[in-house]
Structure 1
Amino acid sequence: MMMFSQLGDMVKTVKAAPGLIDRANALADRTAAYRQQMDAMAAQAVHAEPAAGALEPIAGVDLDRYARIVKGIAAYGYDETKLPVVAGMFGIDPEAWAQAQAGWGARIQADRGVGRRFNEIYAAV
């Protein structure tokens, strides 16, 4: 009896196999499409260009100066409370620095091209 039961299970499995194979192939196709989409997004992030006007200075602080100031706190153990001090060394008053810091932070988050350019400058200084 056990042999017939096992044979019956095997027949059920064989009958179900085409559907299982079709579902597995569909899943593989969706996975490949997802992977292509993720690769395209990664390539875009690496080669992203800033939007028009996104590199205009904020409160008189351009991106190059902003990156130099942000990197300048390394001398203070990366103590962010020293950013206004470093900005002052670049001739930027505290009010202008507050505007620039908020503005550049927002642009870097919103525009991958600005973020990429900031990272390039930060790494170079």
Structure 2
Amino acid sequence: MGILKSMKDMKQMVAAAPAMIDQAQVLQAQAAQMQAAQAQAAQQAQAAAFAAPGSSAGITPDLLAPVAGVTVEQYVAVVKGIAAYNYDQAMLPTVAAGHGIDRASWDTAAAAFNARVTSSPAFAQHFNALYRAS
């Protein structure tokens, strides 16, 4: 009797298989549509974030605050100033000194502004706009 029950259960499972396959295909199509919609929304959000160079969207006052007496604008001027030295990073303190910034203040400010650029897309965009404008 156990064999007959197993056969009956297997027959029911085989009969239900096409419906389960159809349901799985519908779920797969829905997941693909949702993924495409999310990708499009992310792309639009990224495009909107970078659409207006120099915009201050997402910039908070603490991101623009001077560090060790060095302003964002001074930081940009020093970073851009090493172009004259073939972008030699070792020349940053020398260029900073030319802008009236001592070595200790420059080291502190450079570390802080580099961290802001890498951690905040809005600040990185603001830095890029200032760099291009100078």
TM-score, normalised to structure 1's length? 0.76
1:30 matched to 2:39? The reply is no
Task: Report the 3-state secondary structure (helix = DSSP H, G, I; strand = E; otherwise coil) of the residue aligned with 1:54.
Answer: helix
Q: How many residues align?
A: 114
Please tell me the root mean square deviation across aligned C-alpha atoms, in Å.
Answer: 2.4
1:61 matched to 2:70? The reply is yes
The answer to which structure, 1 or 2, has the higher relative contact order (CA under 8 A, 6+ apart) is 1
Cα offset, 1:19, TM superposition? 4.3
Please tell me whether Structure 1 or Structure 2 has the larger radius of gyration of its CA atoms.
2
1:1-125 to 2 correspondences below 5 Å: 16=21, 19-46=24-51, 48-125=57-134
TM-score, normalised to structure 2's length? 0.72
Q: What residue ranges of structure 2 are gaps of 5+ in the alignment?
A: 1-16
Bigger Cα displacement from structure 2, 20-29 vs 48-57: 20-29
Cα offset, 1:41, TM superposition? 3.8
Q: Write the distance in 1 (CA, Å) between the matches of 2:40 and 2:92.
A: 41
Percent of pairs identical after alignment?
34
| 4+ residue runs over 6 A deviation | none
8 Å Cα contact 1:87-1:93 kept in structure 2: yes
Q: Note the alpha carbon deviations across 1:16-36, whole angstroms, 9 max, x for none.
A: 556435422431222222321
Q: What residue ranges of structure 1 are gaps of 5+ in the alignment?
A: 1-11
Q: Write the distance in 1 (CA, Å) between the matches of 2:63 and 2:22.
A: 56
8 Å Cα contact 1:76-1:82 kept in structure 2: yes
8 Å Cα contact 1:46-1:116 kept in structure 2: no
